[in-house]
Amino acid sequence: MNDIYSESPAKPRPQIALENQSYWDGLRRHQLLVQRCLTCAKLRHYPRPMCDACYSFEYDWHALSGSATVHSWTVTHHAFHAGFKQDLPYVTVTADLRDGIRLQAPLAGSDVNLAVGARLDLEFIDVDAELTIISMRIRA
Amino acid sequence: MINLCDKAAVSGVGETAYTRETDRSQLSLTLEAALNAVLDAGLDPKDIDGVIPYASGGVVAEDFITNFGIADLRYSAQTPMGGASAVAALQSATMAVATGVAKHVLITLGRGSISGGRISDQLTRMPQMRLVSEFEMPIGTNAPAQFYAHMARRHMELYGSTSEQFAEVALTCCAHAQLNERAMMRKPMRLADHQNSRMIADPFRLFDCSLEGAGAAAVVISSAERARDLRCAPIYIGGCAEGHPDSPSAITQRRDLTRLGIANAAPIAFAMAGVTHADIDVAEIYDCFTYIVLCQLEDLGFCAKGEGGHFVANGRIRLGGDLPINTHGGLLSEAHIGGMNHIVELVRQLRGECGERQVTNAEVGLVTGFGDLGDGSLAIMHR
């Protein structure tokens, strides 16, 4: 259990779309899975039914490695959702993975000096028995 | 393609008072603004045969049939593009009256009291927020200030734009609001006030964010021929367009975080209107956050990408400058009426009704909308 998720009020949980269960199941196994088109091999994220390059509905799930770089970020100082009030201030990064795929993830620590291109390591945080999320950490 | 240039005109504008809170419903406020717009045009409510109500919220075309007693509503639509909805509706209304489908199309936008619910809860229910709800809200990205902060920070890192440059937009809107008795922000703002305002979602401070409030505004769009016989001087719609960015439902996955949908729409609207940027006498630029104004000025082509911060300096966007913007105070200092108040203000500027804040000899003006994570819309109007 990660302590940032242990106190009330509850943080919002993902409203998992029908075809996205494999993504969240992958996180439970500490794997970052993105869709790969079975017709043209284009990777895509966030998950969606169709490939926008070749219009194929056929895809499998492809595991990405755990390194990334900073694309942008924000530091939140105002609790827009009560579930995050005890975390203020907190950093959220937009992180570049590969092939144009990005993630948004919390960044461990709020007093870090960030810059575009800074190297990040990806971590898996087991929130509870059902939910794992991705977090980022500045590479030492 | 049928050229829509000058086929339609704004024949009437109206609004309610703008207040922090209200005990009236969104529908009641919307009907008051709508009635004012219809009367401003010199029409009877039963003359309205087309309606485009704001897509976010509970007001629908049926409400106008019921309350105005409209016997034969011929056209109804919605343009669900968040803050780009109102200006995008100008394009739809223009098409409706240019083709003769409708004679007089009413466009409305009302916002009730904000105390009814948390913004993140409201957003979660919107289908265009499906991806954000699943992938970003659970990690603490719950509101527009946070969504757009990633775009603003990227711009600052790539182009060196600064919080002080964002502040010039807030200071301009606040200075203009001092000349507008309808505006909610009547206290002057200095740069230090902006820089000392509390951080909300870095780089956005409190005074980078628009004012939440309650109220409604509305406009009537008529065919140009019909508008010429009505009560007010017609304000012609010379060009209008809507534009959508790639990855419209997830800023995180967008190829270029610093490019908005309006970049696609602007060349279409300028070409349709047959005007250049130098012809624009006044511009009402959607300003949910200060940075969004800088970015739109770039995407509209008033300056190159990355130059928005320099462009707004030295009084250029203030009354008396080369391109006065948000002469009513905008969403930042008049009220957040979803940008319908921007359309109303542009029409009044082009009619010459703006008193102390009137732009001298305003003949051609521009209004923009921005919303739903990057959608854009613009209209170029003239008297």
Strand arrangement, sheet containing A59-64:
A43-44, A32-37, A59-64
Please check whether residue A77 touches B, CB under 8 A.
Answer: yes
Question: Would you put residue B82 in left (φ > 0), alpha (ψ -120 to 50) or beta?
Answer: left
pLDDT bracket for residue A6 (50, 70, 90): low
Contact A116 B154 (CB under 8 A): yes
Query: Is the CA virtual torsion B8, B102, B14, B115 positive or negative?
Result: negative
- CA dist B364 and B383 (Å) reads 7
Please tell me the distance from the alpha carbon of residue A29 to that of residue A126, in angstroms, as a whole number.
10
Helix and strand numbers, DSSP H then E, in chain A? 1, 8
Cβ distance of B253 and A101 shorter than 8 Å:
yes
Q: What percent of chain A has pLDDT over 90?
A: 81
Q: Quick one: fold of A66-140? A: OB fold (Dihydrolipoamide Acetyltransferase, E2P) (2.40.50)
* Inter-chain touch A116–B157, beta carbons under 8 Å: yes
Rounded Cα distance, A133 and A124, in Å:
6
Nearest to A92 among B140, B158, B255 (CB): B140
Put the strands of the sheet holding B235-243 in their side by side order.
Answer: B75-76, B50-53, B104-111, B215-223, B8-15, B235-243, B375-382, B364-371, B282-284
Say how far apart CA B181 and CA B357 lie, in whole Å. 11
For an interface test with B, the pick among A94, A114, A124, A126 (most B C-beta atoms closer than 10 Å) comes out as A94
Chain A contact present for B131, CB below 8 A: yes
Residues 6+ apart with CB under 8 A from B150: A72, A73, A74, A92, A94, A104, B251, B252, B257
Q: Say whether residue B257 is in contact with chain A using an 8 A CB cutoff.
A: yes
Tell me: pLDDT of A7 over 80.
Answer: no
Mean of the pLDDT values across residues A129-135?
A: 95
Using the beta-carbon criterion (under 8 Å), do A80 and B157 form an inter-chain contact? no
Q: Cβ of B201 and A15 within 8 Å? A: no
Report yes or no: A9 at the B interface, CB cutoff 8 Å. no
DSSP secondary-structure letter at A27? H
CA-nearest residue of chain B to A106? B139
Contact B293, B210 (CB under 8 A): no
Per run of 10 residues, the mean pLDDT along chain B (length 383 residues) is 93 97 95 98 98 91 97 96 97 98 98 67 79 95 97 98 98 98 96 98 98 95 98 98 96 97 98 98 98 98 98 97 98 97 98 98 98 96 98
Reference B242, options B267, B218, B279, B276; nearest CA is B267
Both tokens of A129, joined, read: 């028995």
Residue numbers in A near B141 (CB within 8 A): 92, 104
The string of pLDDT tens digits covering residues A11-60 is 999 989 888 999 999 999 999 999 999 999 999 999 999 999 999 999 99
**Could you tell me if A129 lies within 8 Å of chain B, comparing CB atoms?**
no
CB pairs under 8 A between A and B: 113
Q: Which of A77, A105, A131 sits opposite B202 (nearest CB)?
A: A77
Tokens of B256: 């270029």
Distance CA B81, CA A13 (A): 26
Cβ–Cβ below 8 Å for B138 and A16:
no
Residues 104-123 of A with CB under 8 A from B: 104-106, 115-116
Is A80 strand, coil or helix? coil
Q: Within an 8 Å CB–CB cutoff, is residue A13 touching chain B?
A: yes
Tell whether A74 is within 8 A of chain B (Cβ).
yes
Q: Which two tokens stand for residue A96?
A: 């570049």
Interface check A100 vs B, CB under 8 A:
yes
Query: Is a pLDDT exceeding 50 seen at residue A114?
Result: yes
A18 touches chain B (CB under 8 A): no
pLDDT of residue B118: 57
Q: Which pairs from B133-137 meet CB under 8 Å and 24+ separation?
A: B133/A12, B133/A14, B133/A15, B134/A14, B134/A15, B134/A16, B134/A17, B134/A20, B134/A46, B135/A14, B135/A46, B135/A104, B135/B250, B135/B252, B136/A104, B136/B250, B136/B252, B137/A12, B137/A14, B137/A81
Residues of chain A with CATH 2.40.50: 66-140
Min Cα separation B139/chain A (Å): 6
> Do the Cβ atoms of A11 and B134 come within 8 Å?
no
Q: Do A133 and B131 touch (CB under 8 A)?
A: no
The CA distance from B73 to B94, in Å, is 16
Contact A71, B154 (CB under 8 A): yes
Tell me the domains of chain B and their CATH numbers. 8-115+210-382 (3.40.47.10)
Enter the ipTM.
0.94
Residue B331's pLDDT is 98
- Is B35 within 8 Å of chain A by CB? no
Local structure of A14: helix, strand or coil: coil
Contact B253 A12 (CB under 8 A): no
Q: Which of B123, B128, B132, B252 to mutate to test the interface with A (most CBs of A within 10 A)?
A: B252
Does the distance separating the beta carbons of A13 and B140 come in below 8 Å?
no
Confidence of residue A73 (pLDDT cuts 50, 70, 90): very high
Record: contact B202-A74, CB cut-off 8 A: yes
CB contact under 8 A, A74 and B120: no
Query: Is the Cβ pair B253, A102 closer than 8 Å?
Result: yes
Count CA atoms closer than 13 A to B152's CA, side-chain side: 27
How much is the pLDDT for A113?
81
Question: Where do we find the tokens 């009354």?
Answer: B319
